[in-house]
Structure 1
Amino acid sequence: MSHSPARRTMLKLGLAGSVGWSGAGQALASASTAPAAEPFTSRRPPPDQRHFVSRAVDAAIAEVQRRIGDPELAWLFANCLPNTLDTTVTLGTVDGKPDAFVITGDIDAMWLRDSSAQVWPYLPFAREDADLRRLIRGVIHRHVRCLLIDPYANAFLKDPSARTQLKWALGDLTDMRPGVSERKWELDSLCWPLRLAHGYWRATGDVAPFDAQWAEAMRAVLRTMREQQRKAGPGPYRFQRRAEAATETLVLDGYGAPTRPVGLIHSMFRPSDDACVYPFLVPANLFAVVSLRQLAVMADAVLHDAALATEAKALADETATALNRHARLRTPAGEVWAYEVDGFGNQLFMDDANAPSLLSLPYLGVCAVDEPLYRRTRARAWSVDNPYFFRGRVAEGTGGPHEGLRMVWPMSITMKALTAPATAAGAAEVRHCLRWLKASHAGTGFMHEAFDQDDAAHFTRPWFAWANGLFGELILDLARHRPALLQAN
């Protein structure tokens, strides 16, 4: 999530016992705090202050809690899974359709990526919960309106006629439109709404959100991805920002580092909102292949639009071919995926905690957890060969330039557990991850953006709903597929 250096400092918080309801994410507290006097009491807002209530989700929380042998883990799960519903959702109606505006937490804006990921864990409950279906339809409709405002933007305002109030975005040199909160072109920003739409359709069979306006937005998605192959020049997008951090702006008059047009799709910023070194971000392109193929299926089965389906499939196939030709890195252990490439033969290996990441590829449907290319890539990413892998007294995990060295992101630990193989070694990985996640919350009962590898009380973002929801999703996944791992840890 993007924020200025000053904002980053403000977001380094300690315990805020009421984190989760109105205004709590904005309050500052001591950075060295102890757990609450009454451990394991709920940190959810009082029922009358919750933004949205899903009976199906609440019933699942109660049922899964009874199956968790560790009281602290059960408490974390009950706090984290409903955090998006409890604190970030505003539900309404626009043009007779459901509308849902979903903020990230302590930043009052809706990221296409975050909002998609935040409601994803609730899809298994949507078929049986009409209110939850209305909420997710509202998110899909809001995504459509955002994409039609500007498919190059990553974050949007609740009021489509308003101008951004983000201090760090006020002077950006780009085509800043009303309704846009920030305009960093990130390929994954177009993939996440596709993933949510496809996941909702598969989970519920409901085709109501996929109307003519949705089809128009999907054509805008395809047009934008094609433009960002940059086969006929740099295209319409450029971005510059006056900032101390180099990761906040783009070189070469705002068009980014040079590339050779090889069929890959440019992404000028990573899902962390940090600028790419090389503009072909490999995890995002792999994610795009999956998302485009999902769009092709929906265009055929739901929209009955053969032309759209053909175009989506063709772009997916072209991107997949280019990835196999240009995005593999040779190492002594065998080939792995690079993190970024430029088409000239230059390759960068690292991994960033935000998804899409190399670690998250099976989670996003790119490959199986036991695919050899992924297993080698995963092992390298979770090692000292990744400059943003950190190991300390509290935990180990990946981070990224966004919060700096030594700062482990709980999201990376959760993703490691979600991609652990179904083996004895994989079970041991999950147990380690659960211990690290418990050690990282610093008494707050919630996941954070990042924490110091040696001091969990030094953390950023006490109200980060995506990280909370992802942790809740992990526990749900374990309850369904590896319940023995929850019985004691």
Structure 2
Amino acid sequence: MKGVSMIDSPARRALLGLGLAGGLSGLGMARALAADRPPGSDARFASSRPPPAQRRFSSPAVDAAIADLQRRIGDPELAWMFGNCLPNTLDTTVTEGTVDGKPDTFVITGDIDAMWLRDSSAQVWPYLPFAREDDALRRLIRGVIHRHARCLLIDPYANAFLEDPQARTQLKWAIGDLTEMRPGVSERKWELDSLCWPIRLAHGYWRATGDTAPFDAQWAEAMRAVLRTMREQQRKTGPGPYRFQRKAEAATETLVLDGYGHPGRPVGLIHSMFRPSDDACVFPFLVPANLFAVVSLRQLAAMADAVLHDAALASEAKALADEVAAALRRHARLRTPAGEVWAYEVDGFGNQFFMDDANAPSLLSLPYLGVCAVDDALYRRTRARAWSPDNPYFFRGRVAEGTGGPHEGLRMIWPMSLTMKALTAPATAAGDAEIRQCLRWLQASHAGTGFMHEAFDQDDAAHFTRPWFAWANGLFGELILNLARHRPALLQSS
């Protein structure tokens, strides 16, 4: 409701108790708040969630936070979108089970019946603040971590997996790929960030809950496979074992040079043949992915030391992080009239390429992923260049302005880029203005559905791709939670 104070109220105290900003436990109170929440006064904004009996998973803590925050968002449309988007992964994409006596959770992306390591990690990330209060939610996330370990041990070069580890891919575009397609693999595009996201989730879960149960011998073995694969893809002694070719009309769907991709000089950076968009790289060292890898390796080192008590694994992870960080400083910066910025891709031979793609890791997303602070000077220059016509995949139209990428083509803005711009806005009056503008664009882009999409035409929001894209929905929900914690006035006055 517009103008409601966030200073103190029973509902706000319940929100604090759910872990959004620390404080006393309030799960019981939050359940009561959810139970007696009055219906919205505007019939246009009736919930678009599945009926409770049809939801794949229900979290009292998440549902209570939704009910509480919807009361405090000044714009009823924005409140409606939040209520639809935050729980979308839980409502529609998760399947729980047990494997070898441990929880197992399979998470599809939405309208593609496969589990991407990247997407599934990002999809459950917004629920971490609630996991300490919700035993069932904690079990669900433990199941994702266990499933990630099993997937990485099937094939650390694959980006997407099947629910049945003995099945063969049914993705029409992946059948017939010229690569080593193992049972359980849905798609086998080597993307460096696919190894980073599961570490980010594991580290975030550990820090949020203190629970070390998922980090068993199998998880440790998977982490050793991660390190081995990253070392192989530094390609210091040869191209390594990974090859990939696909019969496709789009050049972004396959790799040159007999499937090994464009060459890179062995300077210490890690090759990534595909971007987080699943599009082939132009130059093989994807800078945002390598920066993300540095963060993830240091998180792995911390967990190897404190949780696994494996000094050798911790030392190896730290050494690789230090090597990649040094190589990034030497080879991944681009000189511009405005000063140095991060390049998007480089090859170690001196060739550099600047753009930004909406999928994270992107240059825009670096503070979100823990690479740097939002006020870091190098990042601020990079961010400004990425959000400008100097980025060939920056688009401005009647609906919004934002970034996209080759995956859906020119003119197609990704709502994820708008959400990420708001998440990385500086803590200033100008940053507040950026967030308000991004919220307006996000409201203008959902085309009456109440959900985020993959991409929309810069001039026509009704022309969009992927009506069911759970990562984009969850990221939008995360933005609203973040604003509730740190900038509640922006929600009251939206």
For the superposition of Structure 1 and Structure 2, which TM-score range results when normalised by the shorter chain?
over 0.9
- The 3-state SS of whatever aligns with 1:390 is strand
AA in 1 matched with 2:346: V
**Does residue 250 of structure 2 align to residue 241 of structure 1?**
no
SS in 2 for 1:251: coil
Q: How far does residue 455 in structure 1 lie from its aligned partner after superposition?
A: 0.1
Give the SS at the match of 1:52. coil
2:174 to 149, 169, 173: 169
1:434 Cα deviation after fit: 0.1
Question: Is residue 348 of structure 1 aligned with residue 364 of structure 2?
Answer: no
- Percent identity between the two aligned chains: 90
Residue aligned with 1:290, SS: helix
Aligned partner of 2:28 in structure 1 is none
Matched letter for residue 440 of structure 1: S
Give the SS at the match of 2:258: helix
Aligned twin of 2:448: 443
Query: Counterpart of 1:485?
Result: 490
Is 2:159 the counterpart of 1:133?
Answer: no
Separation in 1 of the partners of 2:83 and 2:479? 12
Instruction: Note the alpha carbon deviations across 1:83-137, whole angstroms, 9 max, x for none.
Output: 0000000011011000000000000000000000000000000001000000000
Partner residue, 1:338: 343
One-letter identity of the residue aligned with 1:368: A
Which of 208, 212, 216 is residue 211 of structure 1 equivalent to?
Answer: 216
Pick from 409, 415, 424 the counterpart of residue 414 of structure 2: 409
* 1:227 corresponds to: 232
Match of 1:113 in 2: 118
Structure 1: distance between partners of 2:394 and 2:43: 35
Instruction: Tell me which residue corresponds to 2:374.
Output: 369
Residue number in structure 2 paired with 1:284? 289
Structure 1 position 191 matched with structure 2 position 169: no
| SS of match in other structure, 1:302 | helix
In 2, Cα distance between the equivalents of 1:60 and 1:48? 20
Alignment-mate amino acid for residue 427 of structure 1: D
Q: Within 1, Cα distance between the matches of 2:160 and 2:202?
A: 18
Whole-angstrom distance in 1 between the partners of 2:263 and 2:151? 29
Instruction: State how far apart, in whole Å, the 2-side matches of 1:39 and 1:290 are.
Output: 43
Q: Does 1:296 align with 2:301?
A: yes
How far apart in 1 are the matches of 2:270 and 2:66?
40
Q: Structure 2: how far apart are the matches of 1:379 and 1:230?
A: 33
In 2, the alpha carbon distance for the partners of 1:259 and 1:297 equals 30
Aligned to 2:7: none
Match in the other structure for 1:262: 267
* Aligned residue runs from structure 1 range 11-50, under 5 A: 38-50=43-55
**Equivalent position amino acid for 1:265 in 2:** I
Tell me whether 1:76 sits opposite 2:81 in the alignment: yes
Distance 1:331 1:445 in 2: 40
Partner of residue 323, structure 2: 318
Report 1 or 2 for greater relative contact order, CA contacts < 8 Å, sequence distance ≥ 6: 1
Tell me which residue corresponds to 1:418.
423
CA distance in 1, matches of 2:208, 2:237: 40
Partner residue of 2:402?
A: 397
CA distance in 2, matches of 1:465, 1:117: 9
Amino acid at match of 1:208: A
- 1:378-415 Cα offsets, whole Å, 9 max, x none, are 00000000000000000000000000000000000000
1:148 aligned residue (132, 150, 153): 153
With normalisation by structure 1, the TM-score equals 0.92
Segments of structure 2 that go 5 or more residues without pairing to the other structure are 1-41
Report the secondary structure of 2:335's partner residue: strand
Instruction: Give distance in 2, aligned partners of 1:38 and 1:267.
Output: 48
How far 1:38 sits from its partner (Å)? 4.3
Counterpart residue number, 1:63: 68
2: CA distance, partners of 1:89 / 1:308: 32
Letter matched to residue 63 of structure 1: D
Tell me the amino acid that sits aligned with residue 209 of structure 2. Answer: T
Unaligned runs of 5+ residues in structure 1 are 1-36
Q: Does 1:95 pair with 2:84?
A: no
Work out the CA distance in 2 between the residues paired with 1:38 and 1:90. 32
2:8 equivalent in structure 1: none
- Measure the CA separation in 2 of the matches of 1:259 and 1:187: 15
Structure 1 letter corresponding to 2:425: A
Which structure 1 residue ranges, 4+ long, deviate > 4 Å from structure 2?
Answer: none
RMSD, matched Cα: 0.6
Give the superposition deviation at 1:488: 2.1
Letter paired with 1:232: T
Query: Aligned pair 1:466/2:471, yes or no?
Result: yes
For the residue of structure 2 that corresponds to 1:90, the secondary structure is strand
> For the residues of structure 2 that align with 1:39 and 1:326, how far apart are their CA atoms?
53
Whole-angstrom distance in 2 between the partners of 1:445 and 1:426: 25
Shift of 1:274: 0.1
CA distance in 1, matches of 2:269, 2:62: 40
